Amino acid sequence: MSDAAQSATPTTPAVTPTAAATFSTVAEGDLTLDDHEALAAMLARTFDSYDHWYAGARSWAGMQPELRVVARDGDVVLAHAGLRRQFVTVGDADVLVTAVGMVAVSPAAQGTGLGAELLRHVDAALERLGSRFGLLETGESVQGFYRRGGWVPLDDVTGGPVTGHYTAFSADGAGVLVSQDEGWLLREVGARAAEWPAGDIRWNGQMV
Ligand SMILES: CC(C)(COP(=O)(O)OP(=O)(O)OC[C@H]1O[C@@H](n2cnc3c(N)ncnc32)[C@H](O)[C@@H]1OP(=O)(O)O)[C@@H](O)C(=O)NCCC(=O)NCCS
């Protein structure tokens, strides 16, 4: 295990000013084993009820991202988001989206503006990946954060509730289909939100 992961895992690191954060956007294939360990340690700290998933160097929960936005202070990971292009079925249409997930700011750095900065870097990464929409699902308690970052609830776009069907994350590898009736958020990239087709979303697999 890397020094960063060793020092970060047992306790939350001391509060670090946002100014100390250096952002980078990294292709999955360029991450080292130490990178994965440091990311997993930070994700386990932030999503503490899922920490058994982020064991060792497993730095993802469902679908493995293709691109990461990472903020670090030295070797310590302060913020992270994972992105992956995926076709999803919406109604009768196949739509290429960039799934965004594992959006996290290390607990000691939360509330300092780092999350907002992270979303700005995610926007740039969405542009780079070139799909027409960013898509994510989140709980009610965090929606305000994404709305401030320019994400729009799909319910508002379509004028009614949107259900998404996806295979749930599972630490032991078993996948069960989940139907989620709320919490879907869209980010315009190369298309207007109004171009989003009507109908249920079928991920046909796991989300990032
Ligand atoms: C959600 C999270 C990424 C936000 O990061 P953060 O660094 O605390 O957020 P910031 O300080 O940059 O806040 C940016 C803006 O969002 C607002 N905001 C932050 N968290 C919010 C929340 N839960 N609900 C509503 N608004 C929120 C802030 O008030 C701020 O608004 P302002 O620009 O008007 O001042 C972070 O709290 C976190 O990692 N939480 C645990 C993991 C999680 O829930 N991730 C999302 C999973 S989908």
Q: Give Cα 151 distance to the centre of its chain.
A: 13
Can you tell me the mean pLDDT for 47-55? 91
Q: Ligand 1 atom closest to Cα of 110? A: 8
Question: Residue 13 pLDDT > 60, yes or no?
Answer: no
pLDDT of residue 3: 38
Quote the ligand 1 centre to 92 CA distance (angstroms). Answer: 34
Asked if residue 123 has pLDDT above 50, the reply is yes
Going by their DSSP bridges, the two strands 133-137 and 152-153 should be labelled as unpaired
The residue whose C-alpha atom lies closest to atom 25 belonging to ligand 1 is 144
- Mutate which of 145, 151, 166 for ligand 1? The one with the most ligand atoms within 8 Å of its CB, which is 145
Ligand 1 pocket test: which of 142, 147, 184 has the largest number of ligand atoms within 8 Å of its C-beta?
Answer: 142
Mean residue pLDDT across the chain: 91
For residues 129 and 81, the answer to whether their CB atoms sit within 8 Å is no
> Quick one: how far is CA 129 from the chain centroid?
15
Looking from the CA of residue 117, the nearest atom of ligand 1 is 12
**pLDDT, mean of residues 188-201:** 95
pLDDT of residue 20: 87
**Residues 101/86, Cβ–Cβ less than 8 Å:** no
| Section 53-70 average pLDDT | 95
What is the reported pLDDT for 18? Answer: 63
The backbone torsions φ and ψ at residue 146, rounded to the nearest 5 degrees and listed phi first, read -70, -40
User: Tell me: domain 3-202, CATH 3.20.20.80, correct?
Assistant: no
pLDDT at 51 over 90: no
* Rounded mean pLDDT, 103-116: 97
CA of 60 to the centre of ligand 1 (A): 21
pLDDT bucket at 65, cuts 50 / 70 / 90: very high
Q: Where are the domains of the chain?
A: 3-202
Residue 50's pLDDT is: 85
The residue-averaged pLDDT of 168-192 equals 89
How many residues appear in the chain?
Answer: 208
Cβ of 9 closer than 6 Å to ligand 1, yes or no, is no
Give me 28's structure tokens.
């999955």
Containing H/E element for 88?
A: strand 76-90
1 pLDDT higher than 50: no
Higher-scoring residue by pLDDT: 19, 163: 163
Tokens found for residue 81: 């988001």
* Distance of CA 148 from the midpoint of ligand 1 (Å): 9
Task: Collapse the DSSP code of 25 into the 3-class scheme (helix H, G, I; strand E, B; otherwise coil) and give the result.
Answer: strand
The closest residue, in CA terms, to atom 34 on ligand 1 is 148
Backbone angles phi, psi at 37, to 5 degrees: -65, -45
* Predicted TM-score (pTM) of this structure: 0.92
Look-up: residue for tokens 């990971």? Answer: 77
Share of the chain above pLDDT 70, in %: 91
